[in-house]
Structure 1
Amino acid sequence: MLRSVKDIRGYLLKAQDGEIGKCSDFLIDDKQWVVRYIVVDTMKWLPGRKVLISPISIGDAEALNRRLDVALTKDQIKEAPPLDADAPISRQYELDYNRYHDLANCWVGTPVWEPHVHPFLLHRSKADSYVSKMEAGDPHLRSAKEVMGYNIQATDAPIGHIADFIVDQDTWIVPYLVIDTINWRPTSKKVLIKPDWVEKVGWRRKKLLLDLTSDQIKNSPTYDPSMPVNQECEVRLYDYYGRPYDRKKEGVQ
């Protein structure tokens, strides 16, 4: 199930024994292009406190009811290590968080949820995998809300900005970025770009550099936010760029 981050924002999160709040943001790993954490607005339950939920703890996603089920109790969430700072989140915090929830350290695996396709199937058996370096902060972990609006640079010219992210709600992988070309066109046109086509991420300059020309992006198939990103849409995009489409590796399973 491919859905827009903007659409998922506001989903209710329900623990095993009650509601904990609403989805307010996502922390996305730009190296593996996956949602590593869902940021929860706990509202009146834990006022003023930021809570992170790993996709490993997310069960069913109900689009009709706009709800995500969390395989944790409210006490488990409440007693988790508190997060005082914004991203980048320290590796030490992630280690403490994963040990507390008995989760694997997902940044060491390839593919990201190794050995499973779906994060919900991951368990502690891989949790003590080798960690190459303890960093003060993870430079690849960014707020989706922060990154929306970052400029897009084609090989020959600036071409637009990031308007949204498309997320696979089964795997929480980000198969597409939504680019709005309104900055350089008389009317707004949104297009989909694969993260694989991002050559470099310049966080300080708030810019993504693509391995595509501005004309390629301008003339690519239009993305309509009111329509689902299905196999037909994906195949059309791949055909346009002349790239092979592998159904097993892309968003539609």
Structure 2
Amino acid sequence: MIRLLNDVKGSAVRASDGDIGMVTDYYFDDQRWAIRYLVVDVGNLVRGGFVLISPIAVRGTDWENQTIDLSIDRERVRSGPTTDVLQPISRQYETDYYRYYGWPTYWAGPGIWGAEATPGALGLITPPSTTIGGTSAEPSERDVRRTVRDRTGAGLEESRLRSAKEVAGYHIKATDQEAGHIDDYVVDRDTWVIHSIVIDTSNWPGGKTVVLPRERIERVDWSTKQIFVNMTSHEVRNSPEFSEASLSRRL
């Protein structure tokens, strides 16, 4: 099933024992273009008000009613790593995050999700416990929260995560000239991979909203907020028009 990110943003997030907050953004990695985290506004549940939730923790979704159910409880979320949404997320933060939840990391393997194709499958794998002298080396909740706080801004050169909310609006540069801007994304609900981008070409006479496969992206200049595609502006503007009906046919 394929969904638009903007349809899912704003969804209520429910832990196994009650509501925790609302989705405000998504972080995807700029290599695989897979959604790695939901950014959830949890209010006063945690200090700072925001947490990251991996799709690994998503137990079920109800897109019609905009709800996302998790396999973890409120206390697990409350005691876990928090995040500063104004700062880049480092690989060290991610390592501590995955260690806290006891999941294998998504970057350790050849698949989109480590050794697996979907986050749900990765979540079924239990990584071997690390022991020192026969004693478990698993971190306490306090240790994880401290290292996450200290290292969120560290190792920025390793950060590969991008805000979907920020990238929406990036300009599309065709081979000859600018051709529009990103309006939304189309995502596979099983793999959580962005496979198409929705482009608004209304800045051109007779412009419309079109869909481009991600493979058309040649490169992204993150500093200038431009996405270069291997198409002419004419080809972009004459790409398949986006509509809810066309999306439904692909679900």
Aligned mates of 1:103, 1:77 — CA distance in 2: 14
Give the SS at the match of 1:227.
helix
CA contact (8 A) 1:28 1:35 kept: yes
Aligned mates of 1:23, 1:52 — CA distance in 2: 10
CA contact (8 A) 1:17 1:74 kept: yes
RMSD: 2.1
Structure 1 residue 29: Cα displacement: 1.1
Is 2:170 aligned against 1:150? Answer: yes
Structure 1 residue 187: Cα displacement: 4.0
Give the SS at the match of 1:27.
strand
Aligned mates of 1:5, 1:197 — CA distance in 2: 19
Identify if the C-alpha distance between structure 1 residues 229 and 84 changes in structure 2 by more than 3 Å, giving closer, same or farther: same
Structure 1 residue 50: Cα displacement: 1.3
Matches within 5 A, 1:79-94: 79-84=79-84, 86-94=86-94
Q: CA deviation digits over 1:212-252, x for unaligned, max 9? A: 1111111111111x33525x56xxxxxxxxxxxxxxxxxx6
Amino acid in the other structure paired with 2:242:
Y
2:247 maps to which residue?
A: 229
Q: CA deviation digits over 1:154-193, x for unaligned, max 9? A: 111110101011111221111111111122x124411111
Identify if the C-alpha distance between structure 1 residues 98 and 203 changes in structure 2 by more than 3 Å, giving closer, same or farther: same
Aligned mates of 2:72, 2:5 — CA distance in 1: 23
Q: Paired residues, what number?
A: 226
Amino acid in the other structure paired with 1:159:
A
Structure 1 residue 106: Cα displacement: 0.8
Aligned mates of 2:29, 2:83 — CA distance in 1: 18
1:207 maps to which residue?
A: 226
Could you tell me which runs of 5 or more consecutive residues in structure 2 were left unpaired when the two chains were aligned.
130-153
1:193 maps to which residue?
A: 212
Identify if the C-alpha distance between structure 1 residues 92 and 139 changes in structure 2 by more than 3 Å, giving closer, same or farther: closer
Structure 1 residue 20: Cα displacement: 0.5
1:24 maps to which residue?
A: 24
Scaled by the length of structure 1, the TM-score of the pair is 0.82
Identical pairs, percent: 37
Amino acid in the other structure paired with 1:194:
P
1:237 maps to which residue?
A: none
1:102 maps to which residue?
A: 102
Structure 1 residue 117: Cα displacement: 2.6
Amino acid in the other structure paired with 1:175:
H
- Shifted more, 106-115 versus 172-181: the winner is 106-115
Amino acid in the other structure paired with 1:222:
E
Is 2:77 aligned against 1:77? Answer: yes
CA contact (8 A) 2:45 2:78 kept: no
Amino acid in the other structure paired with 1:4:
L
Which structure: larger Rg? Answer: 2
Scaled by the length of structure 2, the TM-score of the pair is 0.83
Identify if the C-alpha distance between structure 1 residues 127 and 202 changes in structure 2 by more than 3 Å, giving closer, same or farther: farther
Q: CA deviation digits over 1:29-78, x for unaligned, max 9? A: 12101101000011354474210000111111111221111111111101
Q: CA deviation digits over 1:121-155, x for unaligned, max 9? A: 21354689xxxxx9435443111111111100011
Identify if the C-alpha distance between structure 1 residues 211 and 166 changes in structure 2 by more than 3 Å, giving closer, same or farther: same
2:196 maps to which residue?
A: 176
CA contact (8 A) 1:2 1:228 kept: no
Aligned mates of 2:15, 2:91 — CA distance in 1: 26
Identify if the C-alpha distance between structure 1 residues 95 and 114 changes in structure 2 by more than 3 Å, giving closer, same or farther: closer
CA contact (8 A) 1:105 1:126 kept: no
Identify if the C-alpha distance between structure 1 residues 127 and 174 changes in structure 2 by more than 3 Å, giving closer, same or farther: farther
Could you tell me which runs of 5 or more consecutive residues in structure 1 were left unpaired when the two chains were aligned.
129-133, 234-251
- Shifted more, 26-35 versus 111-120: the winner is 111-120
